[in-house]
A and B are shown apart, each in its own frame.
Chain A
Amino acid sequence: MRQQARVVVALGRRSVLQTFRRPQLLAPLIIFPTLLLAIQTGGAGSAVDLPGFPPVDNFLSFMLAGAMIQSTLLAGNAAGIALAVDIEMGFTDRLLAAPIPRYAIVLGRLAGAAALGTFTALWFLAIGLIFGVHIAEGIPGVLVMIAIVTASALAFGSIGAAIALRSGSASVVQGMFPLVFVILFLSSAFFPQNLLLEPASTIAEYNPASFIVDAVRDPVISTFSDDDMWKGAAGIVLVGALGSILSARALKRRLRMG
Chain B
Amino acid sequence: MSAVPISHDAQTIWAMMRRSANELIRVPGAAIPGVLAPTIFFLGLTSAFSALTGLRGFDTESYQSFIIPVSMLQGAGFTGAAAGVNLARDIEIGLFDRFLASPAPRWVLLAGVVFSASVRSLIPATVLLVVALAIGAHFPGILGLLLAIFLVMWMAIVAACWGVTLALRFKTQAAAPLMQAVMLALILCTTAYAPQELLTGWLYTVAEINPITQVVEAARQGFIGDVTWAGTWPGIVALAGFTLVLGFFALRGMRRTAY
Contact = CB atoms under 8 A, between A and B. Distances in A.
Interface in A29-60: 31-32, 35, 38-47, 49-52, 59
Contacts of B193: 39-40, 43-44
Interface residues of A, number: 33
Given A45-B199, A181-B40, A50 B54 contact: yes
Nearest to A204: B47
B194 A44 contact: yes
Contacts of A59: 200
Given A24-B177, A182-B40, A191 B48 contact: yes
Q: Summarize A's interface: helix, strand, loop or mixed.
A: helix
Interface in B182-219: 184-185, 188-189, 192-194, 198-204, 206-207
B200 A196 contact: no
Contacts of B192: 39, 43
B200 A42 contact: yes
Given A24-B174, A196-B47, A42 B201 contact: yes
Interface string A74-100: 000000000000000000000000000
Given A46-B198, A178-B37, A191 B44 contact: no
B249 to A, nearest CB: 23
A52 B185 CA distance: 30
A145 B188 CA distance: 29
Interface of A: 24, 27-28, 31-32, 35, 38-47, 49-52, 59, 178, 181-182, 184-186, 190-191, 195-197, 200
6 contacts: A38-B203, A44-B194, A45-B200, A46-B52, A46-B194, A50-B52
